[in-house]
Structure 1
């Protein structure tokens, strides 16, 4: 028996940069792979590496029980699989989407006789197939289905199962990405402040990295306070002090000719929390997080 015969065969729909990286990793590991892509040239490029190229999504889905989707968006999933017989198929949707889309797509798949797992990739294409890079994928939905295919799914990147709710993979994915963009916003503002000054970005870079690393304690601290509801015990820099200090940030931005739009939303949130009740003055700033749902009209 050859190595290929003991490896789970699978189908992959979607060969963008991420899909191509996934495909090459599965092929290199000896998994028989059927691929389909709307642009056939990308699929044909993988034929030389051992992939079987399907002419249509229906042909690709019919080829294997395990079908992995890595398409542009949730709408692309619906249009690609429109009219395709999904009965008896195990769908793993790596397409980036929202929690509601994950839940809706799970019900959609089950109504068509398929089993379904949603997923969120926490990696760039260059991290796929490189375990030391630290990339992984969130999965949610049917736990038995995930366990059945876990070994195959973990070939390109590690896995983290985050619950039976099909929307939870997307929820975790977007939560982490949202934090990333907030971090990027602060870094961008910092570099804008020194533009035109006798301060080289490469000299500020290690200072930024060290400071942001030191401030990483806020992640766990905020989680504990949001869980307990206690925003006042062992506070290092209280809300009143933070609000007062924020004026310096805004004045400096004005002096440097920098638009403060990347940082003002958070500063405004702290001010709103303080203005709502003077008793909040001695709180940790994590209390301001509770305003975000209220602003959106949710209690």
Structure 2
């Protein structure tokens, strides 16, 4: 391993994700400095080889690459505003879960102080960091991304989405929206079968099999959405409406609220009301975002 792979790294914030990030850097051989606002979360990392310091100033001065993984956007400012002047000759990577507007605001704050800034979204849980399947999305300074790509790739695959610091966050949140809605759909189904004695675990096994079979169809659905041409029909909106109406009725009979499935039916109903019932069900997308499409 050459010296270039041993970038000095500071991790600010030792929540579950921050600890995982620091551990991955240490394991990869990067001299790693750690800091946390409250004590008591550094012992295991210190035993692994990290250096714990008492102040943010010490932490920032210690490394060429400073990674912030804090609670929220406000906490990033609380921690970094007092040390902005020390960051100008370092690279700042923000892996705090920050909304796109917040990421752009932080990029403007950094630019005003000549701080090289890269924003990121983590598509992994802490246990996955540094392991196969961990993926991180980045946007902002291409200079920071390229200069520190090797270090960043110790955390997971690293993909760059351009100079707009808010892009990685937007894509991150968009992907998470799919995940949360998928789980919500599972919760709804588990509630439907509860009264017939099927356990949520058994229903989870059945759901996992069905979803695994359905997920490969998403790129094809996306390709149709991208064209805006829904005339090639696999399943028409009218068929989907009939299915959703039946699910709604069965849900009511089972005493299950319609908070989840009801809005899905509303998306379909709006397209049918607009005269598109014979078109492909992917057209329900247009109820969400009918604006002109822009390429990423």
* 2:258 paired residue number: 260
Structure 1 outlier segments of 4+, above 6 Å: 2-5
* 1:145 paired residue number: 144
Matched, 1:72 2:71: yes
Give 3-state SS (helix, strand or coil) of 2:81's partner: coil
* 2:294 paired residue number: none
Does the CA contact (< 8 Å) of 1:94 and 1:121 recur in 2?
A: yes
Give the 5 Å matches for 1:214-229.
214-229=213-228
* 2:42 paired residue number: 43
- Structure 2 unaligned blocks of 5 or more: 292-296
Give 3-state SS (helix, strand or coil) of 2:148's partner: helix
Give 3-state SS (helix, strand or coil) of 1:140's partner: strand
- Using a 3 Å threshold, how does the CA distance of structure 1 residues 128 and 255 change in structure 2: closer, same or farther? same
Does the CA contact (< 8 Å) of 1:185 and 1:263 recur in 2?
A: no
TM-score, L = length of structure 1: 0.91
CA–CA distance in structure 1, aligned partners of residues 49 and 134 of structure 2: 25
- Using a 3 Å threshold, how does the CA distance of structure 1 residues 3 and 46 change in structure 2: closer, same or farther? farther
CA–CA distance in structure 2, aligned partners of residues 223 and 5 of structure 1: 41
Q: Give me the CA root mean square deviation.
A: 1.9
TM-score, L = length of structure 2: 0.91
CA–CA distance in structure 2, aligned partners of residues 5 and 252 of structure 1: 62
Q: Which stretch of the first structure deviates more once superposed, 42-51 or 190-199?
A: 42-51
Q: Could you tell me how far 1:167 is from its partner in structure 2? A: 0.9
CA–CA distance in structure 1, aligned partners of residues 131 and 197 of structure 2: 40
- Structure 1 unaligned blocks of 5 or more: none
Give the 5 Å matches for 1:1-299.
7-84=6-83, 85=85, 86-131=87-132, 134-233=133-232, 235-275=233-273, 277-278=274-275, 280-293=276-289
Q: Report how many residues are paired.
A: 289
Q: Could you tell me how far 1:139 is from its partner in structure 2? A: 0.8
| Residues 204-255 of structure 1: per-residue CA shift (max 9 Å, x gap) | 333322221222244213311221110111x121011211222111110111
CA–CA distance in structure 1, aligned partners of residues 92 and 269 of structure 2: 47
